[in-house]
A = this chain, B = another copy of it.
Amino acid sequence: MAIEAKADLLNEQQHDVAGVIRALKERFADRCATSHALREQHGHTTTWLTNQPPDAVVFAETTDEVAEIVRLCAAENIPVIAFGTGTSLEGHVNAPRGGISIDLSRMNRVLEVNSDDLDCRVEAGVTRKQLNSYIRDTGLFFPIDPGADASLGGMAATRASGTNAVRYGTMKDAVLGLTVVTADGSIIKTGGRARKSSAGYDLTRLFVGSEGTLGIITELTIRLHGQPEAISGGVCPFPDVEAACQAVIMTIQMGLPVARIELLDSLQVKACNAYSKLDLAETPTLFLEFHGSEAGVQEQSEMFSAIADELGGGPFKWATVAEDRTRLWSARHDAYWAGKGLRPEAQIVATDVCVPISQLAECVIQTAQDIEAEGLLAPIVGHVGDGNFHVQILVDLDDPEEMRKSEAFVERLAIRALDMGGTCTGEHGVGQGKQKYMRREHGDALEMMQAIKQALDPHNLMNPGKILPQS
């Protein structure tokens, strides 16, 4: 595509950052901070990427304050980076050109809960667990659960998902509307509370996944779900990854409305056994959960058991008691730390890809072979109902040889997924770490993304250096 207003993402000259910080300190007093530790923490991500701290951090408390900060920065061509909980994995909050990190964690009010409409409005700093605690008594819940207790603004910005996405969708599906501070410090509202609309361009979903590069999300209207009457679930071992993946395909194809279906490879099972005191057979294993009526979850479990049996898997071990289930899913959510336990002195390079489900077995098998051939220690765990899986490579970040190997492995994995018709990231996002695959994934559509970035952020001040590769 050769759109005329071609994106010019070059870094423009930035002006008086010291002056802007002075003005921010005057306006926000000790809510504007420049200590080294705080700045470093705000460039921090759960990542292997080099820390690039912002010049200052401001703790905003309202949308108007965010707008004010953005206007102050825009006047001097200073970048702004939105910060939620700092749990992103691909360098999303690094500040390669410096600038001001706008910390939204104090914008943590649940503004309204509309039980009749199954929606709520929250500030961007509310975390997923905080929201679920808040609404517990309403009979509703918010299903999207990335590993971390991330902020909802950050989850929208990275188009996050988690274990429930196979049934309840991702942030793309959960967000009904947004309040956004634009690059020039204006405030707009996108979407609304109607469950569907055909009234114009879908700005909401343009902002979901835009990683703060088009504007800063300050409020969200979010769809909730009724708590299921009954939940059941359990674990099911398989002789190999192939059989486990076939079971997933059959489950999805039969329209079994599984709420969670997660694959752990043998190494991940071993890690979870050790870390979470489980005694699972160390073989590829599916963790499952069913939501519905009492009779419905019983029936779903039975139907899944039959599928597993047909594929040489099983026996499917039920966990109907809530405590057993909690123990299991805690273990699943602790997979990251369990993996780390395999080599406690190491750090983790975490990566994810997503492929069409028919390619899942092949992609996981090739990836496992690659791990073995390279002698890496890297458990695999995945939201396989979506074709999405993660590899955590345990590395010594200070060992150049290990890092070279890991980075080359991550690259082969991303390209493998793309060659299979998949995506280089299913839920972690692009940040800095996945930029180099954007051209391969999107081809000429990348120019269209650049044209949109150019139109909405002409001076490239909103989280610059993320998503779009620099020209």
Q: Which of A219-250 contact B (CB under 8 A)?
A: 225-229, 249
Knowing A358-B116, A423-B192 are in contact, say whether A210-B199 is a contact too (CB < 8 A).
no
Q: Please, how many angstroms separate the alpha-carbon atoms of A86 and B270 in the complex?
A: 59
Q: With A and B bound together, what is the CA distance between A168 and B200 in angstroms?
A: 22
Q: Given A3-B456, A182-B3, answer yes or no on A209-B203 (Cβ-Cβ < 8 Å).
A: no
Cβ contact within 8 Å between A226 and B254: yes
Does A295 reach chain B (CB closer than 8 Å)?
yes
Whether A451 and B455, one on each chain, are in contact in the complex, defined by CB atoms closer than 8 angstroms, is yes
- The answer to whether A387 has its CB under 8 Å from any CB of chain B is yes
Residue on B with the closest CB to A208? Answer: B202
Which residues between 353 and 385 of chain A lie within 8 Å of chain B, taking CB atoms?
354-358
* Oligomer: number of copies: 2
State whether the Cβ of A118 lies closer than 8 Å to any Cβ in chain B.
yes
Let me know if B206 and A202 touch, CB within 8 A.
yes
What B residues does A208 contact at CB under 8 A?
A: 202
Known pairs A116-B357, A296-B296 / 5 extra A-B pairs, C-beta < 8 Å: A3-B182, A190-B445, A201-B449, A205-B205, A293-B303
Q: List 5 A-B contacts (CB under 8 A).
A: A117-B358, A159-B196, A195-B357, A198-B427, A199-B441
Which residues from chain A sit less than 8 Å from chain B, CB to CB? 1-5, 114-119, 139, 158-161, 165, 169-170, 172-173, 182-184, 186-190, 192-203, 205-206, 208-210, 214, 225-229, 249, 252-255, 257, 291-293, 295-296, 299, 303, 354-358, 386-388, 417, 421-430, 434, 437-438, 441-446, 448-449, 451-456, 458, 467-468
